[in-house]
Structure 1
């Protein structure tokens, strides 16, 4: 399985209702992470937050 997004890409993150509350919006891909089952994962960062998040590829769209 290959990652769809590369480090430095800008993506739109949609928070899942099941997971912790998170702000939807544009984020930068900081790092590609190992897959979780059948979904690639990424470390992403918003310019409006002081911390990074982990997101599944299914939660991301090209910005």
Structure 2
């Protein structure tokens, strides 16, 4: 049975890299794509909001981001 992705394209998320993820910067990212896979830990292509670099991350590495205050 397929597990649905928890995050949507365009959603802001916070990345929490694991201890084996090298120098991947923590912080705010935007979800660019939901990647197809059969594993329980879904994957996403995300872009760092500050430096613009894109990377593939696992669902277990990200949490919903803080919504920007609308004023």
More strand by proportion, 1 or 2? Answer: 1
| Distance in 2 (alpha carbons) for counterparts of 1:34 and 1:21 | 25
- Aligned pairs, number: 63
TM-score in terms of structure 2 length: 0.79
Name the CA shift for 1:43/1:24 in 2 (closer, same or farther; >3 Å). same
Larger radius of gyration: 2
RMSD of the alignment, in Å?
1.3
Question: Structure 1: which 4+ aligned runs deviate by more than 4 Å?
Answer: none
> Could you tell me which of 18, 33, 53 is aligned with 2:55?
53
